[in-house]
Homo-oligomer: A and B are copies of this chain.
Amino acid sequence: MSIVKLTAPLPRTLVAKAVADALAEDLGLIGDVTTNATIPADATATALIKTRATGAVSGLALAEAAFRALDPATEFEIAHPDASTVAPGATIAKITGNARAILSAERVALNFMGRMSGIATLTARYVTAVAGTKAAIVDTRKTTPLLRAFEKYAVRCGGGHNHRIGLFDAVLIKDNHIVAAGGIDNAITAARAHAGHMVKIEVEVDTLTQLEAVLAHQVDAVLLDNMAPETLKEAVAMVAGRALTEASGGVNLDTVRAIAETGVDLISVGALTHSAPVLDLGLDFLA
């Protein structure tokens, strides 16, 4: 894994609210009873966010905001910014501030960063697996409810690309839409007539026959669902650059390279956001 040039940062406006809600969830009406009983109110401390595994970093803005929410004077020095690759034992950031604040915000900070770095790390594995091909690794809408902005950002930190944000910003015509509309032609015509002119249209197909029907229309992308590599290769040839080609279904780290080598433009992987294990991060206090 190498460092990704990250051009689309997390919208600043989303961070404060998510952190405030997460802290409220953990602190409740009483706060951190253990820390308040055992740590003097004015004690200060320095702690390091370290990784215990290899991975890609994501979520530092949320961690920083969590500590600052409890102690606005917290110093937060970043050693490895978001989208960096880190090895076990690496220090990602150094935090200096009120000791109670650090201990009370620790879990919220790590819960955000661990999950987001887990997604970035899994994404980076897929990106690495297809290195040298033209295929981009893209996410899906299979994200954790309420955390989509953060998870799509984490995918970008791992070198992946974002598919549509939600149901509102792109058309993706699937089986049920086609049936209800009375066929592929009707569905595409209806979508073209009603979607805004800045909205792209993608159509999902399961077979080359369906693909042929779709290609009678001008669409922006075709989603080739659950096709074997050889079929994908044939599909790419049929499309011949008239639309972006996206493979989905049956994608895992064992199969992704073969899929990429079929020449598809995009490979979408739901697991990036719905099944990435956490990156094992910890907070170590300096003596």
> Hey, which chain B residues are within 8 Å of A111, CB to CB?
141-145, 274
On chain B, the residues within 8 Å of A22 by CB distance are 145-146
Kindly report which residue of chain B lies nearest to residue A99, judged by CB atoms: B180
Report the minimal beta-carbon distance from A148 to chain B, rounded to whole angstroms: 5
Enumerate chain B residues within 8 angstroms of A143, measured Cβ to Cβ: 111
CA of A31 to CA of B199 in the docked complex: distance in angstroms?
A: 13
**Apart from A8-B30, A115-B274, A138-B197, 11 more pairs, CB < 8 Å:** A10-B31, A11-B28, A18-B146, A31-B168, A32-B167, A34-B172, A35-B177, A107-B142, A111-B143, A165-B196, A200-B200
Q: How far is the CB of A41 from chain B (nearest CB, A)?
A: 7
B-facing mask of A8-44, CB < 8 A → 1, else 0? 1111111000101111111111111111111111010
B220–A198 touching, CB < 8 Å:
yes
Question: Is A78 positioned at the interface, with any CB of B under 8 Å from its CB?
Answer: no
A193 beta carbon closer than 8 Å to chain B: yes
Stretch binding the partner chain, chosen from A125-133, A156-164, A209-217: A156-164
A108 at the interface (CB under 8 A from B): yes
Contacts known (A25-B166, A39-B181, A265-B197); A33 close to B171, Cβ less than 8 A: yes
CB distance from A284 to the nearest CB of B (A): 10
Min CB–CB distance A35 → chain B (angstroms): 7
Chain B nearest Cβ from A227, distance in angstroms: 18
Residue of B nearest to A246 (CB): B197
A275 within 8 A of B: yes
Pair B114/A274 contact, Cβ less than 8 Å: yes
**CB neighbors of B among A210-234 (8 A):** 220-221
Q: Roughly how many angstroms separate A38 CA and B30 CA in the complex, as a whole number?
A: 27
Give 7 nearest A-B pairs by CB, closest first. A28-B168, A22-B145, A29-B149, A275-B277, A32-B167, A169-B169, A37-B194
